Amino acid sequence: MANAKNKQKQEKCENCSEEFSKEFKLSGEKLVKKVKELIKEGNARKIIIKNEKGKAIMEIPVTVGAVGVVLAPVLAAVGALAALVTECTIEVVKKK
């Protein structure tokens, strides 16, 4: 029963108008720096990294409590991804 309620809340939140997205196009070498910067800002809900063709290759849910040790593996994965892509787009879903 609790799972059904959680799913409903998530669906409402995904469709709510309190969120908007912003995109940044950048080279792979600047990817990790930008992701760290966006996480430090603290108002991002999700960071989506897309390849040159616009296909999402990584989605990072960002929570207020996620810091330091929790994000270290994620940033390592972003670093490995940055080595593989020449250009990418970061889509940031934020709260209004």
pTM for this one?
A: 0.70
Instruction: Determine the pLDDT at residue 25.
Output: 92
When computed from its CA atoms, the radius of gyration of the chain, rounded to whole angstroms, is 14
Neighbours of 47 (CB within 10 A): 21
Q: Where are the domains of the chain?
A: 18-95
| Whether the Cβ atoms of residue 19 and residue 94 lie closer than 8 Å to each other | yes
Tens of pLDDT along the chain (96 residues) come to: 443 333 333 444 555 558 889 999 998 889 989 988 888 887 888 899 999 899 999 998 886 555 555 677 888 888 888 888 889 999 999 877
Neighbours of 59 (CB within 10 A): 12
Coil, helix or strand at residue 43: coil
Instruction: Determine the pLDDT at residue 23.
Output: 93
